[in-house]
Chain A
Amino acid sequence: MIESLLAQLKAGAFDSLSRAESVTDIEGLRVRILGKKGELTEILKGLASVAPNDRPRLGQLANQLKDEISSVLNQKLVLFQAQESQNKLRSEGVDIHLPPIRRLIGRRHPIQLVLQDVVAIFSRMGFSVKEGPDVETEYYNFEALNIPADHPAREMHDTFYLENSLLLRTHTSPVQIRTMETQSPPIKIIVPGNVYRCDLDVTHSPMFHQVEGLYVDSTVTFSQLKGTLVYFLKEFFGQSRKVRFRPSYFPFTEPSTEVDVECGRCNGEGCQSCKQTGWLEILGAGMVNRKVVLSAGYDPDQVTGFAFGIGIERLAMLRYNISDIRLLYENDLRFLGQF
């Protein structure tokens, strides 16, 4: 009697299981068949009226059936759970090719990119950063730098004048004097800053940027100046680029030199951008003139030094292949977005 009930239950259960379609169906079946008040429990209540020696066998039979059904229930459950979670994720999807939500990108101005690089290279060599005023006096901009009132070099520095014989500095060199006046050697500084000349064309801007360098100590040599500048130029332009030192003249240095780097466009063969010379003029430098050392209040017999000045716009134009300096100050975003 119980055996046939169990067989009936089994057939019915498997039939229902085969028609189950969801996690909900499976959970319903588990309660209906195996739950506390389920069909199997109901059948097992009948065991009480069965002969005692038949009970173990029938009990075992019922347990087997229970295991069998729950195993199938579990299998189906896992299956439906997986299916349903997949369906849910699928329904959440979007078109991944829609435009992303984007904000503007911030970038540095190319002049600042170059300035930062230059400052970083010299910082690695122990130069400290100093700054000075854009509005200067004739004394700091000229006289203290061995450019007295009637010196021809004043004409080369097309100067903007303000009221009260103030002027806009034509180079960052005044900071040499200002620093030497307030500190004692050793001094090893670089001075980035704005400088001004009344000049405007494709390579000249009325305001531009310079980095001045100054190293003053008891025995600074021209040889160290060369070593320092060669290191800088190779770091900036690349190790394979040749560097050339030419004797030159500046009122505030002696000996003076102008430093060229091999043209990168033609590898020194000569092309339009280097005016067929194979070289690009990069910076001016020299040993600090004894008169300058003196006007800074040091004893020129005890102290020597070197100084150099680098035009940042020129470096930026060379690095980024910019032929008109005015682009740098127009701030067209189509230009600035390229750096």
Chain B
Amino acid sequence: MKFPFSWLADFVDMADIEPEQLAKKLISAGFEVEEIISTGVNLSNIITGRIESLEKHPNADRLQITQIFDGVTTRQIVTGARNVSVGDVVPVSLPGAVLASGLKIKPSVLRGVESNGMLCSKTELGIDELSDGIWILHPSTPLGLNFVDYAQLKDSVFDVSILPNRGDCQSMLGLAREISVLLGRPLRQPEMDYLVDPEFKLTSGPTQLIVDTQNQCPVYLARSVGNIFPAPTPLWMERRLSKCGIRSHNIIVDITNYVLLELGQPLHAFDADKWEGDVIRVGSSPANITFQTLDQETRAILPGAPIVSDRNGVVSLAGVMGGFGTSVDSGTRNIILESAYFTPVDVRRSRNHVGLRTESSIRFERGVDPLGVQIGADRALHLLQTLTNASVSSMSLQVETQLYSTLLPAPILMVPQKINQLLGTTYPHEMQINVLKSLGFSVNSLGDTWEIVPPSWRCHDVKDWPCLAEEVARIIGLDGIPNEFSGPMIIQEKATRLSIIRAAVETFLINQGFQEIQTYTMISPDDLLLSQRPVEKKSLMIQNPLSVAESTMRSELLASILKTAAFNIKRQISNLRLFEVGKVFFTHPDGTVCEHIMSGALVTGDQLLSPYTIDQKEWAKYTFSHLNGLMRELLDQLDIVDFQLKSTNNPLFHPTLSADLWFGDIIVGTVGFVHPDGVKGYDIRQSIGYIEFNLTLLASLPTRNKMFSPFGRFPSIRRDLAFLAPKTLGFDAIQGEIKSRLPAEVMDFYLFDLFESDSIGANHKSVGFAFIYQHSERTLLDDEVNEIHAKFVDDLRSHLPVSIR
């Protein structure tokens, strides 16, 4: 909200205070000054003058020669303005004057005609970005005035972000109250006095008030005012409204807006002559009601929203906006002035429904001062009488419902020692009490405990003693609270298996050259078409997504990582190793939502940065074995053994170049190449390798038991075995057969040779295994090993369809 420094100074003497100084104090008390807008800094020597004559410039079609009278002397000024005529009162910059832009005015000769100054537009005086012509003032404006002061051109407007709980500070007086405490200076109240004319009675308008909606409107006050003289809005008022971003309409509307800004009490004026019937009825809206608001828009009212009606129907969407039918215009002479309290929740719902945020609703929503209803009305009556000579009728229609008394603040018990305990301070009790008193709280000592009653304007936010601690802390200043850095020793909890696994996976992948990425967990439903998810894993949809592309919670990490790969490949970065550890989401048929943490690592392109020899190029290509190897290395690091690799049914993956990682009867990961069809969907034309783990599941797996077993001290002997096997005989089958028949003396065996060639026949492959014989207690003899090995080979030959080479 905007606060002109000059307006605040109405309530607190700030003649010796610099705006920056005030801003600092406000910020430290919880009022964030976002910006200070200074206007008219350069201006000087601008007065008001009247145009006595206008004549054409003899040498220039676009110029006119004016004679300007300032009450004492007449000056000749040449102007290019089109919008002026004889008798107009305008701002005049005299020779020696400085305009907002810093331009200095000097006497000059324009095309042979002497000119002593300049007629000014609002832009030149620094208040409008763009203005159409010279600023024409009201003809009653005194001549020869110091216009800079008169029009309050020099000012600093504070843009303050008022915290949601400080509705009481959405007004000049509200913030000035805080300032008076911060500066330790008295607060001046605005003038409220007016005379009631006991004889005066409006001939039209209501005479009765009925409040049907007790809980939405705890207090409603209507005053009738007549004989309003249609005076122009005084410049000072117009200027203050404009500094706060409100346009001037007519004197009546301007006064209600002025009081709203000044005191924070929204008011509404109905044209009494447009009122139908004798009754003001405040109630809740029935269903299906539309209504034409002030701005001549027809709006559908939220059923149950508070409304004000006359005999013909709705005249105001209470607390939000008045109706067009009873609105005040330039011809209005008699009004019903409404000052009321509408409950925050109801106003918020109501304005939300119509999509309006008005100055009035902004204040009701955060809660106005329940005692402000009377004060606001009085202030408006004072201004109406002072500025328009209005007659105030003695008729005052007021209803206070039962809710009203409960709005007023209840006493809070406060123990100053507890405040110190919460803040970690040693503020003397008297100091705390004084702060509260200065803020308008009434205090009453009950010994160690105090009974504190907040002022009416704080009834919405101060309800418990920590609020009082907050008041004490912020007024004394948070900087005054020591920075304590001690306390009881708290032992950190031990890391979970999941967090340990997560860290290990991340470290492993980074060390293997994978770049970490960070993607949204929301994806497009199209991304999911890739995978025909099993029904037991339903996706979660966002009801109000920002876009379709981010409308579904991902149940697969792959979609996010593939998209990132596609993004980079499109930017000609085609050698990629990417990974992300992130959440996936799905719903079980019973409705429970599951969140699992997955790790996904993607490879594509070459695994060397830029291979340039044939050997390097060959080596740089990814194969299934590379991916499988990476997965095994990682599992080794995680001490996870006893897993099985099985062909995958996952439609996202290449049917023969991928596998699922099983542990018991659950799949904990997948490795291999992504299905080429899926990759094409992302416009990627290179093969994509992918290794995925479900870390949530991995974390629940048992790990290898770590117990030392001594290694053999005696020399080992190697025996090789090479054989031809049918191509269809899988490695798993061969290895399984070997394992089950392995002599006890074999410590280790491994594949050392595998090839296929025409010379051994198209249906066969040559397989070579090395067997390491070793005894734990003695050196094995050659002959001994030969004998064991020969027997073993015979055994194998009779159980596998192979021929030994």
Select one of A160, A256, A289, A334 contacting B571, CB under 8 A: A334
Select one of B28, B493, B515 contacting A107, CB under 8 A: B515
Contacts of B522 in A (CB 8 A): 206-207
Q: Evaluate contact between B492 and A127: CB separation under 8 angstroms.
A: yes
Q: Determine if B371 is an interface residue (Cβ-Cβ < 8 Å).
A: no
Q: Determine if B401 is an interface residue (Cβ-Cβ < 8 Å).
A: no
Q: Evaluate contact between B474 and A255: CB separation under 8 angstroms.
A: yes
Contacts of A186 in B (CB 8 A): 488, 490
Per-residue 0/1 for A201-242: is the Cβ within 8 Å of any B Cβ (1 yes, 0 no)?
A: 000001100000001010111111011101100000000000
Q: Determine if B192 is an interface residue (Cβ-Cβ < 8 Å).
A: no
Contacts of B571 in A (CB 8 A): 332-334
Asked whether A188 and B490 contact (CB < 8 A) given A162-B540, A246-B28, the answer is: yes
Q: Provide the bound-state CA to CA distance between A135 and B592, in Å.
A: 11
Stretch at the interface among B388-396, B504-512, B790-798: B504-512
Stretch at the interface among B71-79, B161-169, B700-708: B161-169
Q: Evaluate contact between A247 and B365: CB separation under 8 angstroms.
A: no
Stretch at the interface among B56-64, B274-282, B295-303, B464-472: B464-472
Q: Provide the bound-state CA to CA distance between A161 and B540, in Å.
A: 10
| Interface range on chain A (Cβ under 8 Å from partner) | 35 or more
Contacts of B365 in A (CB 8 A): 152
Q: Determine if B567 is an interface residue (Cβ-Cβ < 8 Å).
A: yes
Closest to B595 in A: A133
Q: Evaluate contact between B568 and A329: CB separation under 8 angstroms.
A: no
Q: Evaluate contact between A331 and B564: CB separation under 8 angstroms.
A: yes
For B32, B478, B522, the residue with the greatest tally of chain A CB atoms inside 10 Å of its CB is B478
Q: How far is the CB of B507 from chain A (nearest CB, A)?
A: 9
| Chain B contacts with A in 322-362, Cβ cutoff 8 A | 344-345, 348-349
Asked whether A128 and B492 contact (CB < 8 A) given A102-B608, A103-B609, the answer is: yes
Q: Provide the bound-state CA to CA distance between A119 and B556, in Å.
A: 27
Q: Evaluate contact between A126 and B483: CB separation under 8 angstroms.
A: no
Contacts of B709 in A (CB 8 A): none
Q: Evaluate contact between A108 and B510: CB separation under 8 angstroms.
A: yes
Asked whether A162 and B542 contact (CB < 8 A) given A194-B583, A221-B424, A254-B470, the answer is: yes
Q: Evaluate contact between A249 and B164: CB separation under 8 angstroms.
A: yes
Q: Evaluate contact between A99 and B610: CB separation under 8 angstroms.
A: yes
Q: How far is the CB of A113 from chain B (nearest CB, A)?
A: 9
Q: Determine if B755 is an interface residue (Cβ-Cβ < 8 Å).
A: no
Stretch at the interface among A4-12, A57-65, A69-77, A163-171: A163-171
Q: Determine if A109 is an interface residue (Cβ-Cβ < 8 Å).
A: yes
Q: Determine if A275 is an interface residue (Cβ-Cβ < 8 Å).
A: yes
Q: How far is the CB of B422 from chain A (nearest CB, A)?
A: 6
Contacts of A215 in B (CB 8 A): 490
Q: Evaluate contact between A247 and B473: CB separation under 8 angstroms.
A: yes
Q: Determine if A153 is an interface residue (Cβ-Cβ < 8 Å).
A: yes
Asked whether A247 and B510 contact (CB < 8 A) given A206-B522, A223-B482, the answer is: no
Contacts of A152 in B (CB 8 A): 164, 344, 348, 365-366
Q: Evaluate contact between B543 and A161: CB separation under 8 angstroms.
A: yes
Q: Evaluate contact between B490 and A112: CB separation under 8 angstroms.
A: no
A-B contact count (CB 8 A): 229
For B28, B483, B541, the residue with the greatest tally of chain A CB atoms inside 10 Å of its CB is B483
Q: Evaluate contact between A150 and B583: CB separation under 8 angstroms.
A: no
Q: Provide the bound-state CA to CA distance between A258 and B595, in Å.
A: 32
Stretch at the interface among B180-188, B545-553, B649-657: B545-553
Q: Evaluate contact between A334 and B483: CB separation under 8 angstroms.
A: no
Contacts of B509 in A (CB 8 A): 106
Select one of A99, A106, A223, A304 contacting B484, CB under 8 A: A223
Contacts of B518 in A (CB 8 A): 109, 111-112, 328-329, 331
Q: Determine if A200 is an interface residue (Cβ-Cβ < 8 Å).
A: yes
Contacts of A164 in B (CB 8 A): 591
Q: Provide the bound-state CA to CA distance between A198 and B545, in Å.
A: 7
Select one of A99, A160, A333 contacting B573, CB under 8 A: A333
Closest to B612 in A: A99
Q: Evaluate contact between B488 and A106: CB separation under 8 angstroms.
A: no
Q: Determine if B759 is an interface residue (Cβ-Cβ < 8 Å).
A: no
Asked whether A222 and B424 contact (CB < 8 A) given A255-B474, A332-B571, the answer is: yes
Q: Determine if A123 is an interface residue (Cβ-Cβ < 8 Å).
A: yes
Q: Provide the bound-state CA to CA distance between A109 and B495, in Å.
A: 22
Q: Determine if A336 is an interface residue (Cβ-Cβ < 8 Å).
A: yes
Contacts of B576 in A (CB 8 A): 104, 333
Q: Determine if A330 is an interface residue (Cβ-Cβ < 8 Å).
A: yes
Q: Determine if B715 is an interface residue (Cβ-Cβ < 8 Å).
A: no
Q: Evaluate contact between B470 and A256: CB separation under 8 angstroms.
A: yes
Q: How far is the CB of B568 from chain A (nearest CB, A)?
A: 5
Q: Evaluate contact between B609 and A102: CB separation under 8 angstroms.
A: yes
Q: Provide the bound-state CA to CA distance between A313 and B340, in Å.
A: 45
Select one of A101, A198, A254, A330 contacting B466, CB under 8 A: A254
Closest to B481 in A: A223
Closest to A111 in B: B518
Closest to A254 in B: B466
Q: Provide the bound-state CA to CA distance between A200 and B32, in Å.
A: 24
Closest to A130 in B: B493
Q: Evaluate contact between A200 and B546: CB separation under 8 angstroms.
A: yes
Q: Determine if B491 is an interface residue (Cβ-Cβ < 8 Å).
A: yes
Q: Determine if B722 is an interface residue (Cβ-Cβ < 8 Å).
A: no
Select one of B481, B512, B583 contacting A106, CB under 8 A: B512
Closest to A197 in B: B546
Q: Evaluate contact between A126 and B616: CB separation under 8 angstroms.
A: no
Q: Evaluate contact between B366 and A108: CB separation under 8 angstroms.
A: no
Q: Determine if A318 is an interface residue (Cβ-Cβ < 8 Å).
A: no
Q: Determine if A138 is an interface residue (Cβ-Cβ < 8 Å).
A: no
Select one of A101, A128, A129, A246 contacting B611, CB under 8 A: A101
Q: Provide the bound-state CA to CA distance between A133 and B597, in Å.
A: 11
Q: Evaluate contact between B483 and A223: CB separation under 8 angstroms.
A: yes
Asked whether A221 and B483 contact (CB < 8 A) given A101-B616, A104-B575, A275-B34, the answer is: no
Q: Evaluate contact between B546 and A198: CB separation under 8 angstroms.
A: yes
Q: Determine if B42 is an interface residue (Cβ-Cβ < 8 Å).
A: no
Q: Provide the bound-state CA to CA distance between A231 and B540, in Å.
A: 41
For A198, A221, A257, A331, the residue with the greatest tally of chain B CB atoms inside 10 Å of its CB is A331
Contacts of A248 in B (CB 8 A): 30, 163
Q: List 27 A-B contacts (CB under 8 A).
A: A101-B611, A102-B608, A105-B513, A106-B510, A106-B514, A106-B515, A106-B579, A107-B515, A108-B516, A112-B516, A126-B490, A129-B495, A152-B344, A162-B542, A163-B541, A222-B425, A223-B483, A223-B484, A224-B486, A226-B483, A231-B485, A247-B28, A247-B30, A248-B163, A249-B163, A275-B34, A287-B466
**Interface residues in chain B, defined as those with a beta carbon under 8 Å from any beta carbon in chain A:** 27-30, 32, 34-35, 163-166, 344-345, 348-349, 365-366, 421-425, 464, 466-467, 469-470, 473-474, 478-479, 481-493, 495, 499, 506, 509-522, 540-546, 550, 553, 564, 567-568, 571, 573, 575-579, 583, 585, 591, 593, 595, 607-612, 616
